[in-house]
Amino acid sequence: MDCLYRDPAAPVEARIKDLLSRMSLKEKIGQMTQIERRVSTAEVIRDYSIGSILSAGGSGPRDNAVASEWADMIDGFQRAALESRLGIPIIYGIDAVHGNNSIYGATIYPHNIGLGATRDAELVERIGAATALEVRASAIPYTFAPCVAVLKDPRWGRSYESYSEHTDIVRKMTSIITGLQGKPPTGLPNGYPFVAGRNNVIACAKHFVGDGGTEKGINEGDTVASYEDLEKIHMAPYLDCISRGGCTVMASYSSWNGRRMHADHFLLTEVLKNKLGFKGFVISDWEGLDRLSNPRGSNYRYCISVAVNAGIDMIMVPFNYEKFTDDLLALVDSGEVSLARIDDAVERILRVKFMAGLFEHPFSDRSLLHFVGCKLHREIAREAVRKSLVLLKNGKNGTKAFLPLDRNAKKILVAGSHADDLGYQCGGWTSTWHGSSGRITIGTTILDAIKEAVGADTEVVYEQYPTPETLNGKFSYAIVAVGEGPFAESLGDNSELTIPFNGNEVISSVSEKMSTLVILIAGRPLVIEPKILEKVDALIAAWLPGTEGNGITDIVFGDHDFSGRLPVSWFKNIDQLPMNAESNSYDPLFPLGFGLTYGGEE
């Protein structure tokens, strides 16, 4: 072949060197540029040699677009990229953080905090592999997942994106990298990126580093810690991601001891790239460079200079690509950013593209479409729901266990804001960035699952907020599902953590009249008032379970036993936060690792 970089049999490093030697400075900067779908015209992609495109949360071909429509759109973008002078394919990225959650009809798995409750690394790896198939079916080769934050304060608006407050549990759950990317072969150099094939995707470990440890859980806040603690607590999971062939790392919006992570050369270059040996690329977060100046977005040229020199390789612009290109060209021309730094960034990006097979297979594989929302994947999600549930209470006042429930009971009351709301069940990052209520995708609500599970002669009465007349009726027992509404990032920061939607009132009014199981749907522990805990007969932490509500009824009607254990400490009151399980003053309502079974054991 005339162009070595087009030869799939040539060594990857030789292909990188050949292609880099053919690129102009503007083409190199184009490879470092990631733009949003809405500004990605064919002309922009081609003329700027754009390296990557992403969809923001909820940004798709249309509302409720299915996988084939996504594939049509992304294949079109890819055709434009291949028409550029050198024909370098784009990497298309999306936040597939609990399944391919932006695509209508995809399987939605429990959020990370629920997966942390399972302690099941093999299950999480299978979820990664299943997610990869559904992402690839949409023509997307790159997911901004997993989040490997270690959660130190549940007031943080991204709590549910963390697997646990315990570093060892988070490290165990990095098995999802292997599921997403495939298992790297023996002999692959440590730190070298790896993607097994067309059924796998490029993963992104995020957010480097310390995002779960900010003071008071403030999103994008400051993590105050010694380097030793930062390394031991927050950085440790990245060693596992890198050893698994992790391809990309996303820098955090947050700071470390007042130093913005997007501008921290010590952590991004000296530690991540040099000390840990990471050979993939570092990507900024959404408009992460804009946050380096005050007011945000001012002095943009300075922001680009400090971030690129710190070690950011790909910049999630996502709209202002013209100014980014012009400013970075000027910075190189002035010597403020060296050509060597540009070449290093582009080498890393090309390495991932070659390892992912994008030059050989840039377009969608329509044979994968049948995997989207398929029965097998929904069964995996249902298993994950079962294993994520944590039984916090079963029986009261010395009485026998209340669960499992009698599926052949004469009459059951189902109540609460979350009993029949698929959107609430899935939480944030589902269909849209923040999520929403209602039938936002295909799935089974708790009410749906109860109706499927009970006997043919059992009457199920559903009232979201039961009236006094209803409560005075004769019921065998009640199931009340309450919890948080969907949220994401800073809008999820919460200094009170009480149960919204009149949750306590519903629990109280129902449990005064009949035996009651409460299912709490939330992305973190919430305040449980002592009088509420005393009144209810059973309490389950169900986290944000996703689309497969049957996983809940599999447990509560006794087809399976509980096995989930708390991935985080459950505080008594907000004044105890942040809570440290290793502290001498540790006094939780339920400790890290707590979880009952039908045998009663923790």
Closest CA to 454 of 558, 597, 598: 558
Phi–psi pair at 529, nearest 5 degrees? -65, 140
**How far is the C-alpha of 96 from the C-alpha of 102, rounded, in Å?**
7
Per DSSP, helices labelled H in 110-252 are: 112-118, 121-137, 167-173, 175-181, 227-229, 236-243
504 burial level (CB within 10 Å; 0-12, 13-18, 19+): middle
Helix (H) or strand (E) holding 281: strand 281-283
520 bridge partner residues:
482, 541
Chain Cα centroid distance, residue 62? 22
Among 500, 503, 498, 507, residue whose Cα is nearest residue 535: 507
Q: What SS3 state is found at 185? A: coil
Beta strands across the sheet bearing 516-521: 390-394, 538-543, 516-521, 477-483, 411-415, 459-463
> What angle do the packed helices 121-137 and 375-388 form, to 10 degrees?
140
| Distance (Å, whole) CA 184 – CA 195 | 8
DSSP 84-123: SSS-PPPEEEE--SSSSTTSTT---PPPHHHHHHHT-HHH
How far apart are the C-alpha atoms of 425 and 431, rounded to whole Å? 13
Cα–Cα distance measured from residue 6 to residue 267, given in angstroms and rounded to the nearest whole number: 35
Residue 140 is classified by DSSP as -
Backbone CA torsion sign across 420, 425, 428, 430: negative
Cα 259 from Cα 255, distance rounded (Å): 5
Which residues form the catalytic set? 285, 489
User: Tell me, what amino acid is at 162?
Assistant: S
Helix, strand or coil, per DSSP, at residue 25: helix
Instruction: List own/partner pairs for 262-269 with CB under 8 A and 24 or more apart.
Output: 262/288, 262/289, 262/291, 262/292, 262/307, 262/310, 262/312, 263/292, 263/306, 263/307, 263/310, 264/310, 265/309, 265/310, 265/311, 267/208, 267/209, 268/208, 268/310, 268/311, 268/312, 269/310, 269/311
Q: Find the distance separating the first CA and the last CA of the chain, reported in whole Å.
A: 64
